[in-house]
Amino acid sequence: MRPERLLVVLCWGVAAAIFLLPISNPDLFWHLSAAQRILDLGALPRHDWLSHTRLGAPWVDFEWGSQLLFWAAHRCGGAWGLWALKGVLVALIAAGVHATLKLYRLPAPIRAAGLSLWAAAMLARSDLRPDLFSVLGFTFLFVALEARRLSRESRLLICLHPAASAIIFGLWANLHAGFAYGLLLLAAYAAGESAQFLWTPRDVNAGRSARPRRLWSSCFGAIAGTFMVPFGLDGYRVLWTHWRDMEMLRAYISEWGPIRWDNPWHWPTWTLLAAGGLAASSRIFRFRTVAPAPLAVFIITAYAALEHARLGSFFAACGAPLAAHWGWEAVSSRERRAGRRVAAVCAVIVLTSALYAVGWGMRFGLFRKSVDFRFVPVRAARFLYEQKRLLGGRALYHRWGWGGYLGWALYPPYRVFEDGRYIFHDLLGESAAATSTPQAWREFLDRYGIELAVMENIPKRLPTTRLYPDGSTKTFLRPYYAVYMPKEQWALVYWDDQALVFLKRPASMKASLWMLKHEYRYARPFDEEALADAVRRREIPKGVLEEELERHAREQRALLHETARRF
């Protein structure tokens, strides 16, 4: 096999790593819950039904189209069906990126390097989310606009007809609110074409007076299409809500924060930023010019990715082809004829991307599973479901990222505290502020009437001082929950290596009897130092600790191979 063909095969192997990466998005589950609600009602839900904190609050389901597609994939193939849908969407995006690279008539090694860079940068953003539909639309719209700019033949040019734009954006707006990036892309090219038309001498523009006007017509057609939704202007209100809350989201949700040097998932995006910037600078230095529209799109999407890591997928879709295009244009004709140095650089890019994608992918179950359930409390949810007759209906607390799965697995016996929907944005800051002191935490739980809490089981310890009967004291490092969820008020009734389940001490006799059977009074995780002291002082009744440890081991053996409910 020729080296050029080998590079192309290898670059598609890099892309395959992101097609095959398991699903790990915890928000997927509330999307499935929303789809089920649509089918149950026979209409879009207008109010919250899943939580006890926002029950009945107005909610715009602006991603309903994506949710129904997710539900259909799950109904047809379960977890593997969802994984297959994700693979198809990412493969289509890859095909769009490759189509852009082919538009530029680049040699095979350059195309391979560009696609590999895209794949590495897309790895962190390749999970199954409604965003993928927006990235797909953005990618193929970019292909169409570049084909128009370069006067290339392409079937995608039909997408730029005003009527076609209205239909496409109408579909897009019912899948995800990322249609706003499509509008921005269209506007950037229309503005760039208008600027070129104004700055070009009249004799050169003869016969081209309608070109900018046609693209602006496509923009207006696209804008009109975004109103072909069942929720009218509310989609734009949701966009405004996300924009308004962006600083708060940046503070509490890492994917909405900026890309970071110390995060390996972000290294390919940094590489693409550097490569694209260097290629554009070299192109400008050599020819003293560069097309304004692609440059503007590169800068805008690069800035968006710098500010919000989640938007890096839009930057990768246009940044990788443009970096390859500008880089190849900046290469001198002598170096092009020699080719060896260029091919060597491309080979390094492809091989490095392959090692990165496969290496990081293997850490998250690449080639081994369809869905990675490590980020949701599967076993704790199973325990709650089995105990729904006694515990169901109680006000539940849990961390933000677990709400989607708990709602999917436990509704209707339980209602969640929060999930990934925008109606819970204000609870992010309130929950974070409540963790500042144990007193603030207790007030927070009381404010929402929390009776049942699913907490993280993490090795976070706080200093505590014990007073002995003789007046002496001793300081212990004890798990955070010993301070924030004191035994006097909360009983630990379940724990595993991921989650802790606490029940507020009740007044009813039935709940008290149940608690006597299920509470862990001594066998508690990360509390070894205090436990050893109590054992040494013979403060634990004989056989009780052994019984709790045996019960915990038996409970975990029963749940060892537990899979996600309804999957």
Please give the mean pLDDT across all residues of the chain.
90
Mean predicted confidence (pLDDT) in 34-46 = 97
Q: In what order do the strands lie in the sheet with 499-504?
A: 396-398, 452-456, 499-504, 490-495
| DSSP category for residue 563 | P
CB 134 within 8 A of CB 182: yes
pTM: 0.93
Residue 26 — pLDDT band, cuts 50, 70, 90?
Answer: very high
At 526 the pLDDT is 95
- pLDDT score of 369: 81
d(CA 455, CA 464): 20
- Predicted confidence at residue 542, as pLDDT, reads 76
Q: Where are the domains of the chain?
A: 60-363, 374-559
d(CA 18, CA 91) in angstroms, rounded, equals: 9
Lowest mean pLDDT among 139-148, 328-337, 409-418: 328-337
Q: What is the mean pLDDT of residues 188-213?
A: 71
Confidence of residue 333 (pLDDT cuts 50, 70, 90): low
Backbone angles phi, psi at 255, to 5 degrees: -70, -20
Q: Which H or E run includes 319?
A: helix 312-330
As given in the structure block, the two tokens for residue 2 are: 């020729």
Nearest to 74 by CA among 85, 66, 90, 62: 85
Q: pLDDT tens-digit profile of 351-374?
A: 888 888 888 888 877 777 888 888
Of all residues in the chain, the percent with pLDDT exceeding 70 is: 94
For residues 415-435, one letter each, b for 16 or more C-beta atoms within 10 angstroms of the residue's C-beta and e for the rest, the string is: bbbbbbbebbbebbeebeebe
Binning pLDDT at 50, 70 and 90, where does residue 194 land? confident
Q: Is the peptide bond before 107 cis (omega within 30 degrees of 0)?
A: no
pLDDT at 94 over 50: yes
Per residue in 466-498, pLDDT tens? 888 888 888 989 999 999 999 999 999 999 999
Q: What was the pLDDT predicted at 17?
A: 78
The distance in angstroms from the start CA to the end CA of the chain is: 43
Find out whether 12 and 98 touch, Cβ atoms under 8 Å.
no
**Reported confidence tier of residue 1, pLDDT bands at 50, 70, 90:** low
Q: Which residues contact 160 (CB under 8 A, 6 or more apart)?
A: 144, 145, 148, 214, 215, 218
More confident residue, 17 or 117: 117
Instruction: Please state at what angle helix 292-307 crosses helix 267-287, rounded to 10 degrees.
Output: 150
- In this model, does residue 207 exceed pLDDT 90? no
Query: What's the confidence (pLDDT) of residue 326?
Result: 94
In DSSP terms, 467 is beta-bridged to 473
Strand partners, 475: 465
Residue 129: other Cβ atoms inside 10 A: 24
pLDDT over 70 (residue 507) = no
Residue 202 pLDDT > 70, yes or no?
A: no
Give the mean pLDDT of 228-255: 90
pLDDT score at 183: 97
Write out pLDDT tens, residues 150-161. 988 889 999 999
Reply yes or no on whether the pLDDT at 208 is more than 70: no
Helical residues (DSSP H) of 174-266, grouped into ranges:
179-199, 211-225, 234-244, 246-252
Distance of CA 499 to the CA centre of its chain: 22
Grade residue 204 by pLDDT with cuts at 50, 70 and 90: very low
Contacts of 359 (CB under 8 A, 6+ apart): none
- Residue positions counted in the chain: 567
DSSP letter (8 states) at residue 1: -
| pLDDT greater at residue 4 or residue 534 | 534
68-87 mean pLDDT: 96
To which H or E segment does residue 208 belong? Answer: none
Q: Which two tokens stand for residue 365?
A: 């179950």
Q: How far is Cα 555 from Cα 494, in angstroms, rounded to an integer? A: 9
- pLDDT (0 to 100) of residue 89: 96
DSSP code string of 268-291 = HHHHHHHHHHHHHHHHHHHHS---
The least confident of 33-42, 245-254, 318-327, 399-408 is: 245-254
pLDDT at position 442: 97
Residue 442 burial (10 A CB sphere; 0-12, 13-18, 19+): middle
Would you state the structure tokens that stand for residue 86, as one six-digit string? 């994700």
Place 99 in a pLDDT band, splitting at 50, 70 and 90.
Answer: very high
pLDDT digits (tens, 9 = 90+) for 168-181: 999 999 999 999 99
Contacts of 378 (CB under 8 A, 6+ apart): 405, 562, 563, 564, 565
For 519-535, the pLDDT digits (tens) are: 999 999 999 998 988 88
